[in-house]
Structure 1
Amino acid sequence: MKPKNKTVATWLTFLGGPLGLHRFYLRGFGDLLGWLLPIPTALGLYGIERVQQFGQDDMWSWWLIPLVGFTISGCALMAIIYGLMAPEKWNARFNPGADPEALPGRTNWFTVVGIATALMVGTAVLMASLAFSFQRYFEYQIEEARKISQ
C-alpha cells in the first residue's frame, strides 16, 4: 500500500473535496461518503442554474445554492484539519505500520500554503452562503408579511 501524503491530501481536500476526491485518495473507492459528497455539490450547482433561468425569486434556489457553499466550506475545514495534523497522528491514521516521523506525514511550505488558502476561501464561501441564505429568507418573510397586511 502506497503511503498517503499529507500535502497531497490537503490540496485534494481543498480543490476536489466537493467531489469526494480526498476520500477516495485516503480511504479508497469503497468510501460511501466519498460517493455521497458530489450530491450536495450537484444540487447547489443546479440551484445556481435555476437562479440564472428563473431569477432570484425562485424559492428552490434559495435552498439549493447554500448546499454547494456549505460543502465547499466543510471541505476547506477538512483541508485545514488534515494540514495541521501532527505527523505522528497522520502516519498512525493513514499510514499504519510506517515510522511515526515518516516523510509523508510531515508538513512543508506547500502544505502551509494549502492551509492558508483553504482558510481564506472556505471562510469567504461560508460567509457568502450564510449571507445569501439569510437575505433571501428575510426578504421572503417581508413579502409574506406584506401579503398578510393587505
Structure 2
Amino acid sequence: MPTIHKNKTFATFLALTLGGLGVHRFYLRGPFDKLGMLHAASVPVSGLVIGLAPDVHGFYQVLPVLISYVVGFLEALIVGLTPDEKFDASFNAGSGKTSASSWILAVLLVTTMLVGTTALIATMSRLNDLLYTSGSFG
C-alpha cells in the first residue's frame, strides 16, 4: 500500500505557523507522535498556570506556549534545511514520488529565522527582566 507523499515546503510552513502546537509533527509522523503531543500539551500547561496562579505575571502564564513555539521554529529550520533525498527517505519512502524544493522554501526559511530569532531574543530579554529586576524595565 503506497503512503501519502508529504510535502517538505508545507511541513516547514506548518512548523513556522503552528509549530508551537505540534501540527507539523502530526503531519509528518502521524497523530500519535510523542513530541507533537508535548507541543500540544503546552496550551493546557499554560491554562494550569493561569488557573493555579492567577496573580502571577502574564508572561509566566504564556511561557510554556512561547517555549513550544521557539522549539517549533527550530524544527521548521531542521525540516526545511534537510536535503530532499534525506527527507524523502525519512517521510516518503513508499510514496513513489520525490520532493523538489523551490524558492518558496527559501522564503519560509528566511521568515522562520526572522520570526524565530526575534521571539527567542524577546523571550530571553523579558525573562531576564522579570527574574533579575522584577519587571523594572517594562
Which TM-score applies when normalising by structure 1?
A: 0.75
Write out aligned runs for 1:16-95 (5 A): 16-44=18-46, 54=55, 58=56, 61=58, 63-95=60-92
Write out aligned runs for 1:115-134 (5 A): 115-134=109-128
DSSP 3-state at the match of 2:41: helix
Quote how far apart the aligned CAs of 1:106 are: 2.3
What is the CA–CA distance in structure 1 between the aligned matches of 2:15 and 2:32, rounded to whole Å? Answer: 17
Residues 61-88 of structure 1 deviation map (CA, whole Å, 9 limit, x = unaligned): 4544332222111111111111111111
Q: 1:107 aligns with which of 101, 107, 110?
A: 101
Which TM-score applies when normalising by structure 2?
A: 0.80
What is the CA–CA distance in structure 2 between the aligned matches of 1:124 and 1:9, rounded to whole Å? Answer: 21
Q: CA-atom RMSD, angstroms?
A: 2.7
Which has the larger helix fraction? 1
User: Bigger relative contact order, structure 1 or 2, given CA contacts below 8 A and separation 6+?
Assistant: 2
What is the CA–CA distance in structure 2 between the aligned matches of 1:89 and 1:96, rounded to whole Å? Answer: 10
Quote how far apart the aligned CAs of 1:40 are: 2.0
Residues 30-85 of structure 1 deviation map (CA, whole Å, 9 limit, x = unaligned): 212222212224544776x79xx75xxx35x4544332222111111111111111
Quote how far apart the aligned CAs of 1:16 are: 1.2
Runs of 4+ in structure 1 displaced over 4 angstroms?
44-47
Gap regions ≥5 residues in structure 2: none
Q: Which amino acid aligns with 2:124?
A: L
Name the larger-Rg structure. Answer: 1
Gap regions ≥5 residues in structure 1: 143-150
| Native 8 Å contact 1:66 1:130 kept in 2 | no
